Structure 1
Amino acid sequence: MKNLIFGPVISRRFGYSLGVDLSPTKKQCNFDCLYCELQGAKPQDSMDEAIAVHEYVKAISHYLATQTQQKLDVLTFTANGEPTLYPHLLELIRAIKPLLPPHIKTLILSNGSLFWQKNVREALLEFDIIKFSLDSLNPKAFNRIDRPHKSLNLESIKDGITSFAKEFTQKTNGKLIGEILLLKGINDAPQYAEELAQFLSHIPLSRLDIGTLDRPPAHKATPLSDKEIQAFASYFKGICVYIPKRTPKDSHTQKRTLNTQELIQALSMRPLTKEDMQILFSKDTLSLANTLLKENLLVWEQVGNIAFLRPTENAPK
């Protein structure tokens, strides 16, 4: 049998992560995404192979007992497919959490397609961090990029995300993180960005990750440039947007110089990472940001392994 756990790996977004593979023997997913790195497979609405809970408990317990010097920030539940298809998810997370020291958070990486199911929601409420994907709200683009199982429909997925996000926020102190993966000519049109921005503005996200291909997929697909991703991200006002940087910053990018009011307004609309600030703004604006930090008009907000600069309540409106 393949390893049930893997890593730790250093994640740009979550720190040191130990992975838990809920489908270690083969791909079991209700999507067959164009950008998936795994070999294409027919989507399925349930797992026909599921490892027993006690096997995972044994593997994780052994790791924690023997790797005491290894730094670890998150225990990440994933799969060769969709982890919420795992039929014993609630039993597993409840068995694992008592084994973890307080500083190790539990994270699940989901495609968000089953948040409308009661048993899935009950299990997800036990996690510290939930990252879900939502690549398009346009039915044609959604079907082209995610290629879902025939039992799934976009309206149920939207309703599930909306209602679960509200419940998760009310009942837990956890973090909800969204992700959009863009492919050229499929889900990158401005109207698709507007639709997603409008929908996600009502979801209490801690962070939104927007990216494109950075590894070879199993299917033919074309990535976007950093500039194109930035243009897409500009529609998401008031949300902490993280864009993984695949290339060094563009030395030809025109850096902007802003005054206090302009900088506060810009960060109110879209909080930025330190890397974003260095790419977008002049040295004078970066110096101004440091001054506003000292004056408690700006603050760094930590979301997972990433910090975003945003205005405080003291900042002028």
Structure 2
Amino acid sequence: MQHLIFGPIISRRFGYSLGVDLSPSTKQCNFDCLYCELKGAKTQDSMREVIPVYEYVDTILRYFRTHPDQKIDVLTFTANGEPTLYPHLLELMRTLKPSLPPHIKTLILSNGSLFWQQPVREALLEFDIIKFSLDSLDERTFERIDRPHKSLSLESIKEGITTFATEFTQKTQGKLIGEILLLKGINDSPAHAKELAQFLSNIPLARLDIGTLDRPPAHRATPLSPEEIESFATHFKGMCVYIPKRTTRDLQAPKRTLTKEELIQALSMRPLTQEDMQALFCESTLALADTLTRSHILQWEQVGNIAFLRPAQN
């Protein structure tokens, strides 16, 4: 049982998470990313070792039966590799979901590389939350950082993300979350940021996570400083951008005082978390934000375990 599921762990971004590993015994991935914490391995376009659906269903439901009081917010599907390579994903989700406790959300952590495949998109529609990564839209940089299988093309990946985002928005009430992982000197330039921002501005993202290395990678790579990540994130205007670690400079900087109009404008350019608000603004501006929220001029938008303050949507 323990090798198929793990946790629960407390995820800052998603709450209490019980993990499901769709490749528990070996790395099976169509990327070999520079930043991956797993030992480097030859990329593959399909899973060689496949655990039967019934084993996952039995293991997961047994866990919930034997741990009725355990707090779980999300059931997170991942893999030692890429979970959408699992060939029975649709069958697994359609078999499992009707028996899950109703309050639990289903989440999958994907590299987004197979969204161009219709069977993968069909399976993903069964999830409540989809998180996918997109580290660069420059062909050479994509090859360098994600080291994809030869069957993959960046154009197909882009088209797949665009197509799936439309289907997911039209057919479900789920949340689509993007992620960019930055490596120093590789995909961290303003040009990379602007290209990604232009593409992602047309994708209905509920949230965009921007981060860097926080665990030792299998390959040689250098993380960015918090200040460098903040600078990169300024290009993603209007999006709910989440940066996992705040800068000490932000926490120590003089707190800003904004008028009503200035605050609304600032939040329309970049929705902010409670942590952001506390780091950036003085008490009077925080009180103004509370007043505007009670007046429904501003609103909190919950995405996973994180809430963003933004102007109310009419």
Range class of TM-score, shorter chain: over 0.9
User: Identity, % of aligned pairs?
Assistant: 76
1:244 pairs with 2:244: yes
Instruction: For structure 2, list consecutive stretches of 5 or more residues without a partner in the other structure.
Output: none
- The count of aligned residue pairs is 314
**Over residues 33-63 of structure 1, what are the superposed CA-to-partner deviations in whole Å (9 max), with x where a residue is unaligned?**
1111100111111111011111101111110
Q: Partner residue of 2:126?
A: 126
1:11-90 residue pairs with structure 2 within 5 A?
11-90=11-90
TM-score norm. by structure 2 comes to 0.97
The offset of 1:254, in angstroms, is: 4.1
Going from structure 1 to structure 2, the CA distance change for 1:253 and 1:142 (only over 3 Å counts) comes to farther
Q: Partner residue of 1:193?
A: 193
Query: Is the partner of 1:302 in helix, strand or coil?
Result: strand
**Over residues 81-126 of structure 1, what are the superposed CA-to-partner deviations in whole Å (9 max), with x where a residue is unaligned?**
0000001111111111011121101100000000000110110011
Amino acid across the alignment from 2:271: P
Q: Partner residue of 2:163?
A: 163
Q: Aligned partners of 1:205, 1:193: CA distance in 2, in Å?
A: 16
Q: Aligned partners of 1:193, 1:302: CA distance in 2, in Å?
A: 25
1:181 pairs with 2:181: yes
Q: Aligned partners of 2:247, 2:55: CA distance in 1, in Å?
A: 41
Q: Aligned partners of 1:120, 1:306: CA distance in 2, in Å?
A: 27
The offset of 1:253, in angstroms, is: 2.7
Query: Is the partner of 1:197 in helix, strand or coil?
Result: helix
Query: Is the partner of 2:120 in helix, strand or coil?
Result: helix
1:102 pairs with 2:75: no
Q: Partner residue of 1:111?
A: 111
Going from structure 1 to structure 2, the CA distance change for 1:233 and 1:310 (only over 3 Å counts) comes to same
Say if 2:26 and 2:80, in contact at 8 Å, map to a contact too.
yes
Q: Aligned partners of 1:249, 1:303: CA distance in 2, in Å?
A: 26
The offset of 1:223, in angstroms, is: 0.9
Q: Partner residue of 2:261?
A: 261
Q: Partner residue of 2:218?
A: 218
Amino acid across the alignment from 1:312: A
Q: Aligned partners of 1:10, 1:246: CA distance in 2, in Å?
A: 19
Q: Aligned partners of 2:251, 2:307: CA distance in 1, in Å?
A: 23
Deviates most, 163-172 or 273-282: 273-282
Q: Partner residue of 1:274?
A: 274
The offset of 1:299, in angstroms, is: 1.3
The offset of 1:249, in angstroms, is: 6.1
Q: Partner residue of 1:233?
A: 233
Say if 2:208 and 2:240, in contact at 8 Å, map to a contact too.
yes
Q: Aligned partners of 1:283, 1:194: CA distance in 2, in Å?
A: 34
The offset of 1:251, in angstroms, is: 4.3
Query: Is the partner of 1:308 in helix, strand or coil?
Result: strand
The offset of 1:257, in angstroms, is: 2.2
The offset of 1:212, in angstroms, is: 0.7
TM-score norm. by structure 1 comes to 0.96
Deviates most, 246-255 or 71-80: 246-255
The offset of 1:238, in angstroms, is: 1.3
Q: Aligned partners of 2:146, 2:182: CA distance in 1, in Å?
A: 11
Going from structure 1 to structure 2, the CA distance change for 1:313 and 1:153 (only over 3 Å counts) comes to closer
Q: Aligned partners of 2:302, 2:245: CA distance in 1, in Å?
A: 18
The offset of 1:288, in angstroms, is: 2.0
1:209 pairs with 2:209: yes
TM-align CA RMSD: 1.4
Deviates most, 237-246 or 203-212: 237-246
Q: Aligned partners of 2:249, 2:55: CA distance in 1, in Å?
A: 45
